[in-house]
Amino acid sequence: MRATLFGTGYVGLVTGACLAEVGHDVICVDIDAAKIEGLRRGVVPIYEPGLEDLVKANHEAGRLRFSTDAAAGVAHGEVLFIAVGTPPDEDGSADLRHVLEVARTIGEHIDTAKVIVDKSTVPVGTGDRVRAAIAERLQARGAAIGFEVVSNPEFLKEGDAVKDCMRPDRIIIGTDSQHAIEVMKRLYAPFNRNHERLVVMDMRSAELTKYAANAMLATKISFMNEMANIAERVGADIEMVRQGIGSDPRIGYSFIYPGAGYGGSCFPKDVQALERTARQHGYPARILAAVEQVNHAQKARLFDQIQRHFGGDLRGRCFALWGLAFKPNTDDMREASSRTLLDLLWQAGVRVRAFDPEAMDEARRLYGEGRADFVLCPSAGEALDGADALIVITEWKAFWNPRFADLAQRLAAKAIFDGRNIYDPAEVEAAGLAYYGIGRGRSVQQP
């Protein structure tokens, strides 16, 4: 089938590459000419395991092309995907300008019947607005051309996006059109052979499904961070608690890892947008508001521990920071806990020596180079040079098994602040280091 994806960001590029991989004829369209030219040369603008090879192979095979020509993209596709960003507006609601601009562009150029697919994460009711925007342009042209709008939200985890796209848990199709359902079944047939993964529903339910999924996962994380903060105060170890409750199949082990707060391009934005949507409809979503509040506070948790350990005076200190990305296997620093921590440390007069396996270029883009208070180091070991203590904020596998005896010799203040609970406190302390984790029962002094 012929598919066009508008947007070559995270969702559009992964989806386009995976559709091409199973034999579809794909064009990805973007208004960023430099990005399109780079993609034609094989330069993939994001880090995602397996994506670069997938893009290069399918581009060379002629199944995946890149263009700035929107009219050509509309003409090419039987199925037109809207996969552009929906960043948070000033009030936290999703900004739909890019989505609706693509819809109007489709309305300007469509000349045969098409299925238009909302792949972007959008508030409930956006499909109706997309339909209206296209119809308005068709009416202005005096054209009577049939089209159908489908909600088909993505469920891609950064770091596992290619695998998630190639082997999806479920494929949500939101439409009342039997014809559109059949088109989407044909498009996704290569991903649906092992067992039935398509879940068909109305468009508004599909739109809410995406937000509900991310809000549920964010809620589990904030709940566990709330439990971790209680555990610190009562002398319990949240890692033991996690194993105890995770063994209950009604709860499970996924997304119950306490830490320094969630980040990325999805959870913060989507929880806020759903909470604002509820408010716009006269309903105060109290749980969602609490999830946001807990997460916001949790991002400062490590800083609180650092201040307490050093007696409140951090000026002139130097810390090694392992991790910058919001999670492993990505270079994404959007809403990352590291950014909150860096701001707090700099305000306190601290110098930071940081290393991340993939997010160094993104950190340079965000913070520049040549700062006296921020050095990006070529390795985790070099980040330790001259450091008083080590802070771990991203649980990259490369950080899981350091030689603690060596760390004890290199860290002047002999302390580790483990924002992801990847170390055994007893092992760290046996090497002569002070250990601070999240909810490990020894991180908060009792009044």
Query: Catalytic positions, please?
Result: 266
3-state secondary structure of 18: helix
Q: What is d(CA 136, CA 148) in angstroms, rounded to the nearest whole number?
A: 14
Under 8 Å between Cβ of 121 and 86: yes
Under 8 Å between Cβ of 121 and 88: no
Q: What is d(CA 167, CA 312) in angstroms, rounded to the nearest whole number?
A: 50
Pairing state of beta strands 389-392 and 318-322? parallel
Beta strands in 330-388 (DSSP E): 351-355, 374-376
Count of all residues that appear for the chain in the document? 447
Question: Token digits for 213?
Answer: 């999924």
Question: Token digits for 227?
Answer: 């439990």
What are the phi and psi torsion angles at 380 (to 5°)?
Answer: -65, -40
Name the DSSP class of 125.
T
b/e 119-131 (16+ beta carbons within 10 angstroms → b): bbbbbbebbebbb
Question: Token digits for 337?
Answer: 């806990």
Q: Concatenated DSSP letters for 242-272?
A: HHHHHTSTTT-STT----S---SSSHHHHHH
244 CB burial (10 A radius; 0-12, 13-18, 19+): exposed
247's CB contacts (< 8 A; 6+ apart) are none
Q: What is d(CA 122, CA 127) in angstroms, rounded to the nearest whole number?
A: 8
